[in-house]
A and B are shown apart, each in its own frame.
Chain A
Amino acid sequence: MPENMIDSLKSLEQIEFEEGRSLWNDAWVRLKRNRLAMFGLWVMLFLVSISLLTPWFAPYGYEIQDLELGASGPSLAHWLGTDTLGRDLLTRLMYGGRVSLLVGFAATAVSLAVGVIWGIVAGYMGGSVDAVMMRIVDILYALPFMIFVILLMVVFGQSFLLLFLAIGLVEWLTMARIVRGQVQALRRQEFVSAAIVTGLSSAQIMRRHILPNIMGPVIVYVTLTIPAVMLFEAFLSFLGLGVQPPQSSWGVLIATGVETMEEYPWLLIFPGLALSITLFALNFLGDGLRDALDPRSASGAGGVHE
């Protein structure tokens, strides 16, 4: 390794230390310049604040029925119509959003944290550590998940914490595999070897050099995972985990809306729209974040090899 390269690496470290805050500032500046990403951010903020304020804003109670009215299309009294038990869909969508967003973000956060750490360590350490860690992932993939969930419910009872756990348990596996694949490729690159030569510890290298370089696929996968988790929650409520009626979630509303899509299309369209808007906003935001955090596009940082 040429002398000057090590020097430049050291200076790079200094830059990071000295300008740690300005790096984030830079990213934020870049993100702000991305109109689509900002749009996504505002939409997400809007959805989250609606969810927080729902109990004060909701036009009706989510459980209040009007059996005689039954399913009715959008009207002045019920902007988005009512479901088969005559409950206001807008209200149920708002309350459902609380559940779905909470589950989506919390469970994804669990899977993100576990999956990324697991993947980086396995991919970076390689050898037998990698083998053991990845075989554990294989085992968890293969276990019959439904039986597992049913058992967990017997032991711990029905709770939201268990819901996050059950979803996180599944979702981190693919995340770990993707991250590991990326890390394996990165590890062979010169700048990592260079970092090793400078005497940085493995943990430092993983955090400072590996993590920033895998953000792209990770962010994309996270933005895919959030809606997938929201839909997955609908499956878990089939097993009795997840929201209990008369509460609802977007996933459950969509799953039940499918069955009546010919008769009462609004029961599918509006929850579907809510999920789509979330997904699009998240993806715009995710792409913007990816670009903003890209170490190579940051002035001076990264990309010293060649």
Chain B
Amino acid sequence: MSKLVLARILQGIPVLLIVVTATFFLVRAAPGGPFDAERSLPAEVVKNLEKRYNLDAPVLHQYVDYLGNLVRGDFGPSFRYPNRSVTELIRTGMPITFELAFYAIVVAVVVGVMSGLIAAVRPNSLQDYLPMSLAMTGICLPAFLLGPILVLIFGIWLEWLPVSGWGYSPGDKILPSVTLGSAYAAYIARLTRAGMLEVLSQDFIRTARAKGLSMPGVVFRHALRGGLAPVVAFSGPAVAGLLTGSFVVETIFQIPGLGRFYVQAAFNRDYTMIMGTTILLSCLIVILNIVVDILAVWMNPRLRKVR
């Protein structure tokens, strides 16, 4: 197993290198530079700015310099926020987004798997339709829609919860977490139901039932592992998607997280910040997919047989 993990980590290196290289040239090819502003700058000023940020060198030269700095762990200064380094921006935003994402995952997994299980155990009954209808409503209510609706109900009409902030006043973490988690909960519910139905109709379940095991026993001891396979496959990218997807929630609830930086960086053509967040995202994807693949093997012992 450890050999497998090591191999996968090694595979991550070319992935990172390709992403870094592609992104580096992509952002420079995109129209609009980091210093384009409503008021156009005198040519001299632009020249000075470009010199300051090493943008006057040939692109290949810039690329080699950037890789060199990267190896030393230096992501460079942000173009948009001149007195901040990319590392600092990421360091301030990341813990907040990770916390938000964690709560959202808890909401998504608990609600999603539960309702998926409830539905799958008795398909095509009220017990199936009710949670599945809720799940589908959840899919119809993406964060940009659910967020404002929840704020309106719980923040403005009922005055139960704050409409914005993160750790500023009690309870302000609830609405963002629910908002971010619910769309994923809906997906997970649907996928859980589908996966469970596949598994529950297989022979070994029948065998287990024949041996006298109770239904919950069968579900938890035998079926759950296999039934959650689609959910596990989905969760790798989904968790990485939370990082970028949290942008909407962070904007609606005025949360100083990384998602806002990630999207703003692209809009501002903040080259170094785009690079920094992209590198972070790719590391996350590489790691998450390793974890997910290990989880898949753990959940389905058959996968262990062949390397």
Contacts and interface: CB of A to CB of B under 8 A. Distances in A.
Direct contact of A and B (CB under 8 A): yes
A250 B144 CA distance: 14
A306 B152 contact: no
A243 B149 CA distance: 26
Contact of B191 (A126, A144, A221, A261): A221
B303 A185 contact: yes
Contacts of B144: 255, 258
A105 to B, nearest CB: 17
A290 B140 contact: no
B26 A177 contact: no
Given A178-B233, A276-B140, A135 B11 contact: yes
Interface stretch (A63-71, A94-102, A146-154, A197-205): A146-154
B234 A177 contact: yes
B237 A227 contact: no
B31 A174 contact: no
A135 B11 CA distance: 8
Contact of B229 (A181, A188, A221): A181
B18 A188 contact: no
B194 A126 contact: no
B26 A143 contact: yes
A184 B198 CA distance: 15
B96 interface: no
Interface string B135-149: 011011010110011
Contacts of B263: 146
Contacts of A220: 190-191, 193-194, 230
Contacts of A177: 233-234, 236-237, 289
A106 interface: no
Contacts of B285: 138, 141-142
A168 to B, nearest CB: 16
B278 A182 contact: no
Contacts of B111: none
A283 interface: yes
Interface residues of B, number: 62
Nearest to B129: A36
A231 interface: yes
A144 B266 contact: yes
A134 interface: yes
Contact of A147 (B11, B27, B300, B306): B27
Interface string A254-284: 1100100110000010001001100110010
Contacts of A180: 233
B22 interface: yes
A144 B139 contact: no
B89 interface: no
B19 A142 contact: yes
Interface in B265-281: 266-267, 274, 277-278, 281
Interface in B74-106: none
Nearest to B197: A216
Contacts of B142: 231
A32 to B, nearest CB: 16
Contacts of B203: 303, 305-306
Interface string B170-194: 0000000000000000010011011
A188 B305 contact: yes
B173 to A, nearest CB: 22
A296 interface: yes
A254 B289 CA distance: 34
A255 B148 CA distance: 11
A228 interface: yes
Given A138-B285, A154-B30, A276-B140, A258 B233 contact: no
A141 B237 contact: yes
B108 interface: no
A134 to B, nearest CB: 7
Given A185-B226, A262-B152, 20 more contacts: A138-B282, A141-B285, A143-B19, A143-B26, A144-B274, A144-B278, A146-B263, A147-B27, A147-B30, A147-B274, A154-B30, A177-B237, A177-B289, A181-B232, A188-B303, A217-B191, A217-B195, A219-B194, A255-B144, A296-B201
**Sorted from nearest, which 4 A-B pairs have the closest CB atoms?**
A181-B233, A142-B282, A188-B302, A220-B194
Interface of B: 11, 14-15, 18-19, 22-23, 26-27, 29-31, 124, 132-133, 136-137, 139-140, 142, 144-145, 148-149, 152, 187, 190-191, 193-195, 197-198, 201, 203, 226, 229-230, 232-234, 236-238, 240, 263, 266-267, 274, 277-278, 281-282, 285-286, 289, 296, 300, 302-303, 305-306
9 contacts: A135-B14, A143-B22, A143-B23, A143-B26, A150-B31, A154-B31, A220-B190, A258-B148, A268-B145
